Amino acid sequence: MNNAIGVLTSLFALVAFGAVLPVVPTGAAVSAAAALAFHQHSLMVVLVVLAGAAGAYLGDAVTYVACRYGGEKLARRLRWLRNGQRLDGLAARLREREVSVLLISRLVPGGRIPVLLTIALAGLGWRRFALANAPACGLWSVVYAAFGVLGGSIFPEPWQGVLVAVVIVLVVTQVVALVRRRSGD
């Protein structure tokens, strides 16, 4: 049991860290943990989903606060904010579909930080952000855990399921990034 708590705590910390500094493949971490959990006990998969969602939520909250207090300076430095009109249009669309926008931003590589920056700059209040981000993080964690369960259910050995889960996540992430780059051209 202590080992399971350690794994869940590590997963939570890794996902939270990766949500703040997106250099960690957080989706792959959730998938790998779910693949391992699938071979141990089905309840463990639920705990993996909860740890992944909680880590994502904490990391997003830290990123949102950082964007709220330093985001405008960063956006101007990156020349992302050239006029208020662009921000107003994005803000209006975000307010219409907060949960779906946050969920999609978590699933699309490189999409979360610009969306959090836009939400913060548009003046979306903490409470609205906190309420909209909770289901987005939960759904994100479920999606990546499902990849892990799929990998874990196909193969008899836990390491095989982890390997397949990580490969699935990496392939899906690369395909989405490729499509996104091509559509931007």
Higher-pLDDT residue of 119, 184: 119
Q: Select the highest-mean-pLDDT range: 48-52, 90-94, 109-113, 123-127.
A: 48-52
For residue 135, is pLDDT > 80?
A: yes
Average of per-residue pLDDT across 11-35: 90
Tell me, yes or no, if the pTM score tops 0.85: no
For residue 10, is pLDDT > 90?
A: yes
- For residues 24-51, one letter each, b for 16 or more C-beta atoms within 10 angstroms of the residue's C-beta and e for the rest, the string is bbbbbbbbbbbbbbbbeeeebbebbbbb
Q: How many residues does the chain have?
A: 185
Alpha-carbon span 180 to 184, nearest angstrom: 6
